[in-house]
Amino acid sequence: MLQEIKIIKHNGKQYIPDPTTAVVPEPFRGRPEISTAKVNEEDLRNICPVGAISTNPVRIDLAKCCFCGECAYRFPNKVQFTNDLRTVSNSHDRLIIHEGKNEPIRLDQDLVRSEIKKLFGHSLKLRQVSAGGDNSCEYELNAAGNANFDMGRYGIEFVASPRHADGILVTGPITENMSKALKIAYEAIPEPKVFILCGNDAISGGIFADSKALDRSVLKDMHVDLYIPGNPAHPLTIVNGILDLIRTV
């Protein structure tokens, strides 16, 4: 017993007191900023491995961005990745970074259904489905529940059965072999339900977007409540994003 107490004492306090204000140190790649500096835009666009950069004016689409940072390494005076970890939104438009407009990314609260805040504000149970995920977002989702990040303190938890869940969180680009199981799991969740896409491969297909082995048609009938960009998304990005969705500001 004394040994256990010693172990706990040596470990110290490891939990993050307030995840909503926690900062991740650089060189973490969070929300990018684009300056108005003049560069060869065609070269800039070509450097991106996932086609997230468009030109005239220069924009970066965080739905596609795999946060490799190559654009910032090659064009440091044009693109900078800040350590701002809040890159989550419920509207695709807000995930597009425009040159010269470097504002924080937030949810469009007008788009959030009123029952979400009313019913899930203090308790949200999610079913996670990996549909071709590479186990990196899954890894960080598990971490979001550990003693460091502890999103359970806000009533956010992952549950075993869709019947016990208030919503579904998908990782991975949605493979053909997994699309049916995803649909069945989604339908098994009682209404009203939340639908979240986590990671750039879930949101846009990411590097797999052109693969014929995907079947993303299941997304057609679904209303997406939250996009959590990242490759993988940082646990603090996940916690803050979900809190912005369920809590009244």
Partner 1 sequence: MSVLDKYIITKNNKSVDLKAIPVLTYNDFSSLIKSLLQKTENHCLNYFTYPSNDKMQLIACIASDSDASILIFSHVVAQGEELESLSAEISALHIFEREIFENYGVKFKNHPWLKPVRYSKNRFDNKSKIKDYPFYSIQSDELHEVGVGPIHAGIIEPGHFRFICNGEDVLHLEIQLGYQHRGVEQLFLEKKKVLQRNILAESIAGDTAVGHSLAFAQIMESLGNISISEQLSIERAMALELERIAIHVGDIAALCTDIGYSLGANIFAILRTLIINFTQSWCGNRLGKGMIRVGGTNQAFNNDLKKKLIKVLDDFEFQFNELAHRTFKLPSVENRFDNIGTISETQARNLGVVGMTARMANVLRDIRHSHPFAGFEKYPIPTLVLPNGDVFSRFLLRRKEVKQSIAWIRNILDCEKFENPAPMPVTELNLEANKLCIGLTEAWRGEICHCAITDNSGQLTLYKIKDPSLHNWKALELSLRNVEISDFPINNKSYNLSYCGHDL
Residue numbers 186-205 binding partner 1 by CB under 8 A: 201
- Terminal CA-to-CA distance of the chain, rounded, Å? 44
Q: How far is the CB of 27 from partner 1 (least distance, A)?
A: 4
What DSSP character marks residue 123?
-
Which range in 55-63, 110-118, 125-133, 218-226 contacts partner 1 by CB under 8 A? 125-133
Cα separation, 221 vs 206, in Å, equals 21
Residues paired with residue 81 on neighbouring β-strands, in sequence order: 32
- 135 binds partner 1 per the rule CB under 8 A: yes
Q: How far is the CB of 116 from partner 1 (least distance, A)?
A: 22
Residues paired with residue 89 on neighbouring β-strands, in sequence order: 227
Question: Taking a C-beta distance cutoff of 8 angstroms, is the pair 234, 24 a contact?
Answer: yes
Question: Taking a C-beta distance cutoff of 8 angstroms, is the pair 171, 141 a contact?
Answer: yes
- 140 binds partner 1 per the rule CB under 8 A: yes
Question: Taking a C-beta distance cutoff of 8 angstroms, is the pair 51, 208 a contact?
Answer: no
- 229 binds partner 1 per the rule CB under 8 A: no
Residue identified by tokens 């949101």 is 203
Q: How far is the CB of 50 from partner 1 (least distance, A)?
A: 7
Nearer to partner 1, 111 or 159 (CB): 159
Cα separation, 97 vs 214, in Å, equals 27
Quick one: which of 34, 58, 165, 185 contacts partner 1 (CB under 8 A)? Answer: 185
Footprint of partner 1 on this chain (CB under 8 A)? 3-4, 6-8, 10-11, 14, 24-29, 47, 49-50, 66-70, 73, 81, 128-143, 146-148, 158, 160-161, 172-173, 175-178, 180-181, 185, 201, 206-208, 210-214, 231-232, 234
